[in-house]
């Protein structure tokens, strides 16, 4: 079960980041255009619109992978 759960997490992150880059490429723009300039240093990378885009994709994929792999991380 631990291997399945680890696979769900890793696959969802990889697919989420890939889908984020694919979305940016599909619109013909760059990741820097989504950057938020808050002058917080490393926090600017975390508080980036691109990060939230990838997080949204990864969350959606995580839910479906949890269902297909029957890991039951989401209670019924």
In the chain, the number of structural domains is: 1
Mind listing the pLDDT tens digit for each residue in 16-59? Answer: 999 999 998 999 888 777 777 777 777 776 678 888 899 999 99
The Cα-based distances of 57 to 1, 12, 38, 39 in angstroms read: 24, 8, 24, 27
Structural domain for 45, as ranges: 2-69
20 touches 50 (CB < 8 A)? yes
Provide the whole-model pTM.
0.82
Q: Which residue has the higher pLDDT, 34 or 4?
A: 4
Q: Is residue 34 part of a domain?
A: yes
């Amino acid at each position: 079960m631990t291997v399945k759960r680890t696979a769900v997490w890793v696959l969802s992150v990889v697919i989420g980041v890939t889908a984020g880059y694919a979305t940016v490429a599909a619109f013909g723009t760059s990741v820097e255009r989504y950057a938020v300039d808050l002058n917080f240093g490393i926090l600017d990378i975390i508080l980036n619109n691109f990060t939230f885009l990838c997080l949204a994709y990864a969350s959606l994929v995580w839910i479906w992978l949890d269902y297909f792999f029957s890991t039951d991380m989401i209670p019924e």
